[in-house]
Structure 1
Amino acid sequence: MPKFEYDGVRISYLDEGEGDPILLIHGFASNKHVNWKYPGWVDLLVKDGRRVIALDNRGHGESQKFYDPSAYGAPVMAEDARRLLDHLGIAQTDVMGYSMGARISAFLTLNHPKRVRRAVFSGLGYGMIAGVGDPEPIASALETDRIQDIVDRSGRAFRAFAEQTGSDRRALAACMRSSRQKISEEDVSRIERPVLVAVGTEDEIAGSPQKLAALIPHADVLEIPGRDHMVAVGDKVHKQGVLAFLNNVEA
């Protein structure tokens, strides 16, 4: 996979297809393959006539690992995404992020509105503003020697996912302790691009998609029936809804 580097930060990405670009930003403890390639998103969007770019966020996949929480944060990772667009010479793109990736996408849209044509915030609703819980149990679970010793249910789930994806658990723990910056209601209301908020109806992590969408002037909600946070990403309703949004919303 291609990589680019700036200021000592190495970012891995994929770049497939031709047409209008869309940038995909994965969730916590995932990577460009697990979040987007394996569930069929890349092939789906390429077949829809799009140029698909997906990066590994710092600390994840094949990108640079850091072990100090100050090296992370959604605004910092949004700048990685912006620099990738610069590297590829892309002036404006659609953006889709899942969970932590939705938060990163929101910061990218807020801080560089001319670079984003429209955005999909998946796997994250009002939790973008209210927060999604204490990060410490998950960070501690990632650092624990044995998964059998983890009591916290969410911590155990993320630890299992990190092991499944072959992630660097120390890097993820550092990321977890800094990546959940909240965005104020006032800031979210300044997003003027068309937005789709897509959340599973059984997602106990994301928060209300309706409550988030109500704050954004040009936002719609896509409910993904019967899906929780971990499985909604690859659901066919999710895919169909995103394609409809991308193909029918005028920028």
Structure 2
Amino acid sequence: MPSFHNGNVEIAYLDEGEGDPILLIHGFASSKNVNWVYPGWVSELTKAGRRVIAIDNRGHGESTKLYDPEEYHIGVMAADARALLDHLGIARADIMGYSMGGRITAYLAYSTPQRVRSAVLGGIGIGLIAGGGPGENVATALEADQLADVTDPMGRTFRAFADQTRSDRRALAACLRGSRRLMTRDEAAAITVPTLIAVGTTDDVAGSAHALGEVITQAQVLDIPDRDHMRAVGDRVYKAGVREFLAQRP
């Protein structure tokens, strides 16, 4: 896979297809492959005539692993995404993020809207503002010697996922501790780029999509029926909704 350096951090990415560019930003403990390639997103979007770029966030996948939480602020990871667009000579792109990637996407839409043609916030609802989801309980679970030592239900879910993806658990714990900055209600309300909020109806991590839609008043909301946080990623309703949104956005 190709990579580039943003400062001293090597960032891996993929770049496939031709057409309008869309940047995909994966969720916590995931990777470009787990979040976007294996569930069929890359093939789906390239077949729809898109140029698909997917990043491995720092601490994840094939990118550099760091162990200081200060290296993982949302603004720092958003800067990696902007640097990737700069590296590829892309002035403006549609951007879709899932979960933590949705937080990064929202930050980009707020802070540098001139780079964001549209934003898809997958797997993140009002938790963007109100918090919730993985916290210190998950960081502690990631640092446990073995899964059997973890009793917290959410901690067990994310620890099992990290083990499944063969992730660097110490880097993930640092990422979790550093990336928990919440967006304020005023910041979210200031997002004016075309936005789609897509959350599973049984997702107990993201928070309400409709509540976030009341804050980002120009956003569309897509309910992904009967899907939780982990199973919504590759859902066909999600994919169809994104294709329709991208086809209709200005």
TM-score interval, smaller chain: over 0.9
| Corresponding residue number in structure 2 for 1:107 | 107
Hey, what's the Cα distance between the residues in 2 that align with 1:65 and 1:146?
Answer: 21
| Corresponding residue number in structure 1 for 2:226 | 226
Hey, what's the Cα distance between the residues in 1 that align with 2:214 and 2:158?
Answer: 30
CA contact (8 A) 1:10 1:64 kept: yes
Hey, what's the Cα distance between the residues in 1 that align with 2:217 and 2:209?
Answer: 14
Q: Kindly provide the amino acid, as one letter, of the partner of residue 7 in structure 2.
A: D
Q: Kindly provide the amino acid, as one letter, of the partner of residue 162 in structure 1.
A: A
> Per-residue CA shift, 1:58-102, capped at 9, x if unaligned?
000000100010110211100000000000000000000000000
Hey, what's the Cα distance between the residues in 2 that align with 1:15 and 1:241?
Answer: 23
Q: CA deviation at 1:7?
A: 1.4
> Per-residue CA shift, 1:28-53, capped at 9, x if unaligned?
00000000000000000000000000
Hey, what's the Cα distance between the residues in 2 that align with 1:133 and 1:59?
Answer: 19
Q: Per the alignment, in what secondary structure is the counterpart of residue 234 of structure 1? A: coil
Q: Kindly provide the amino acid, as one letter, of the partner of residue 74 in structure 1.
A: I
CA contact (8 A) 1:125 1:210 kept: yes
Hey, what's the Cα distance between the residues in 1 that align with 2:195 and 2:163?
Answer: 33
Q: CA deviation at 1:162?
A: 0.3
Hey, what's the Cα distance between the residues in 2 that align with 1:76 and 1:7?
Answer: 11
Pair 1:134–1:34, CA change in 2 (3 A): closer
Hey, what's the Cα distance between the residues in 1 that align with 2:88 and 2:190?
Answer: 27
Pair 1:42–1:134, CA change in 2 (3 A): closer
Hey, what's the Cα distance between the residues in 1 that align with 2:216 and 2:168?
Answer: 35
| Corresponding residue number in structure 1 for 2:72 | 72
Q: Structure 2 length as normaliser, TM-score?
A: 0.99
| Corresponding residue number in structure 1 for 2:83 | 83
| Corresponding residue number in structure 2 for 1:128 | 128
- More moved, 88-97 vs 210-219: 210-219
CA contact (8 A) 1:100 1:180 kept: no
Map 1:34-45 onto structure 2 (within 5 A). 34-45=34-45
Hey, what's the Cα distance between the residues in 1 that align with 2:169 and 2:181?
Answer: 20
The alignment covers a number of residue pairs equal to 250
| Corresponding residue number in structure 2 for 1:10 | 10
Map 1:1-251 onto structure 2 (within 5 A). 1-133=1-133, 135-250=135-250
CA contact (8 A) 2:134 2:205 kept: no
Give the root-mean-square deviation of aligned CA atoms: 0.8
Q: Structure 1 length as normaliser, TM-score?
A: 0.98
Q: CA deviation at 1:133?
A: 4.3
CA contact (8 A) 2:134 2:154 kept: no
CA contact (8 A) 2:133 2:206 kept: no
Which consecutive unaligned segments of at least 5 residues does structure 2 have? none
Q: CA deviation at 1:213?
A: 1.1
Q: Per the alignment, in what secondary structure is the counterpart of residue 233 of structure 2? A: helix
Identity of aligned residues (%): 61
CA contact (8 A) 1:95 1:118 kept: yes
Moved over 3 A (4+): none
